[in-house]
Chain A
Amino acid sequence: MIGVLDYGMGNLGSVLNTCRKLEIPAKLISSPEGMEDLHGILMPGQGAFRDCMSHLRDHGFVDPLCAWVAENRPFFGICMGLQVLFEDSEESPGVDGLGILPGTVRRFKPSDTLKVPQMGWNRVRWTQKQSFFPEALHDRHFYFVHSYYVPITNVEGTDVDWAGGITSYGIDYVSAISFGECHAVQFHPEKSQRDGLALIRAFADRVNHLQNPQPENPS
C-alpha cells in the first residue's frame, strides 16, 4: 500500500486519480500513525515553502518523514515535495526545511528571455548510470510549474550522488533527485500525460518489487 501524504496543502485529487487510473493501491495519510503499514510514500506539495513546512510540522510529519528516508524506505516527492527535502529556501527565509539534502532552494531570476514562474513542458535528462528513472523517459518533456529551483552547486561536497535529473531553464538545475529509495521530481508527473504516468508506475513497481522480491533469473 502506498500512502499519499495529506497535510492540508491543497488538492490531492490529481495524484489520487493517477493512482486509480494505474490501479495502484493508495490511500491518504493525514497523521504519522497512518504510516506504519505503508510500503511507500507519495508526497505531493504545492504552495509556499513556509506553508508546506508549517503544515508538515502541524501534522507531526517532520521527524517521521526524516526517519522514513533515513531507513531507506521508498519515498517519492513531487514539486514542493522535492524542495522541502533541502535545508531552506529563498522563498521563505528563516524557515527550516527537512534538511535531508544540503543547501538552499533558489529563485529563478526573470530576464527578457526568462519568464518566472517556469510554466510548461521542459526536458529532463537523467544523470545517473544506475538510475531509478526509466531510460525510455530520458530527455522527455514533463510539466513544470515553479519559481524556485535546486542549484547544481548544492551537490558539491556531498558523498552521495543524489542529483538524478537535470533541466535547462536559463541555467541547468536539478529537476529530479534519487538516492537509495528516495526519489523526487520538480515537475508534475500527475499532469504529464503518458510519460508522467509511466514514472508513477515505475515508483509503484519499485515498491512492489521491494515487497515481493523476485528471484534473479538464473539463466
Chain B
Amino acid sequence: MLAKRIIPCLDIRDGRVVKGVNFVDLIDAGDPVEQARAYEAQGADELTFLDITASHEARDTVGELVKRVGEQVFMPMTVGGGIRTAADVRRMLNAGADKVSINTAALLDPGIIDEASAFYGCQCIIVAIDARRNDRGGWTVYTHGGRKPTERDAIAWAREVVDRGAGEILLTSMDADGTKDGYDLELTRTVAEAVSVPVIASGGAGTLEHLAEALTIGKADAVLAASIFHFGTFTIGEAKAYLREKGLEIRI
C-alpha cells in the first residue's frame, strides 16, 4: 500500500533558508544542504523549497541551491514560488528538482499547465491552490500569497488544473494557514474527492492529530508542514510514529 507522505517545507530567500528547522547541532541553519540533510536523517519523505525571493534577478540562486542539495540528498524535491514560465519549469527540473509547483502563473495563464505537463510529464507539475472560504459555502482561489482574490471556485479550479495535466495538487487553506488550529478538513476532503491525482494538504498544522486528521478525514495523500517541524515542536520521526500508531501506512 502506498504510504502517506510527510513533507517539510523550507522557505528560501536569496538561496538561504530563512525558515527552517532549529537544530542545535547545525553549524549554519541557513544552509539549505544542512537543512535538507537533517530532514533526510529524520525520515522526511520529500522536501519542498518555497522561494520567497523578492527580486527576479536573485531567482537563479534557487536553481543553484537545488543542484547543491541534490548532490547530497537523495529524495524527491519540489520547488515552488516565482515559477512564471515554462522556461522557469525547465530550469528547475534541469537543476535537479523532481517537481515544480506553479501557483499564480497558472491562474494568469492556465495554458502553462498544459504546456509544461505535455513537455515534461504530468508527474513533475504540481499546481498550488491557495483557497479561502467564501460566504456562499464554498472556497475562492487567491493569488499572490493569499492576498488577491480571483473569480475562481477552488473545487472547479482543482478539476480544471487536473484536466490540463497537473499531476498533483498542493492545497493551502488561507483561513487555517498560520493558526495551528488544524487543516481545513472539509476543503481538503472536497478537493481530494473531486480529483484523480494526489492532494497535499497544507496550512494549519499545530499538532500530530492535525496531520492524522488531514490524512484520514481530509483524505489527503500527503501533508506539508513548516512550523511544527521548524520550531522543533515535533520531529518527523515523532510524527511518523504517531501516524503509524493510528494505523496509517507510513514509511519508517
Contact = CB atoms under 8 A, between A and B. Distances in A.
Interface of A: 10-11, 13-14, 17-18, 20-21, 46-48, 110, 112, 115-123, 141, 143-147, 168-169, 190-193, 196-197
A123 B221 CA distance: 16
Contacts of B70: 13-14, 17
B152 interface: no
Q: Say what secondary structure dominates the interface of chain B.
A: loop
Given A21-B72, A116-B197, 15 more contacts: A13-B67, A17-B96, A20-B71, A21-B71, A21-B74, A112-B193, A117-B122, A119-B197, A120-B4, A120-B45, A121-B251, A122-B1, A141-B3, A141-B251, A197-B74
Nearest to A143: B76
Interface in B70-96: 70-72, 74-76, 93-96
Given A46-B121, A141-B251, A120 B198 contact: yes
A119 B74 contact: no
Nearest to A189: B74
Given A110-B196, A121-B45, A191 B75 contact: yes
Contacts of A197: 74
A168 B3 CA distance: 11
B5 interface: yes
B168 A119 contact: yes
Given A13-B70, A14-B96, A169-B2, A47 B221 contact: no
B74 A122 contact: no
A26 to B, nearest CB: 14
A145 B167 CA distance: 10
Interface in B1-53: 1-5, 40, 45
A117 B3 contact: no
B74 A192 contact: yes
B24 to A, nearest CB: 24
A10 B197 contact: no
Contacts of B193: 112
A191 B74 contact: yes
Contacts of A146: 123
15 contacts: A11-B93, A11-B96, A14-B74, A18-B74, A47-B121, A115-B196, A116-B197, A117-B122, A120-B3, A120-B198, A121-B3, A141-B3, A141-B251, A191-B74, A196-B74
Interface of B: 1-5, 40, 45, 67, 70-72, 74-76, 93-96, 98, 120-123, 167-168, 193, 196-198, 221-222, 251
A23 B122 CA distance: 33
A137 to B, nearest CB: 13
A146 B75 CA distance: 16
Nearest to A110: B196
A145 B123 contact: yes
A191 B98 contact: yes
A119 B3 contact: no
* Smallest CB-CB A-B distances: 3 pairs: A110-B196, A141-B251, A121-B251
B38 to A, nearest CB: 13
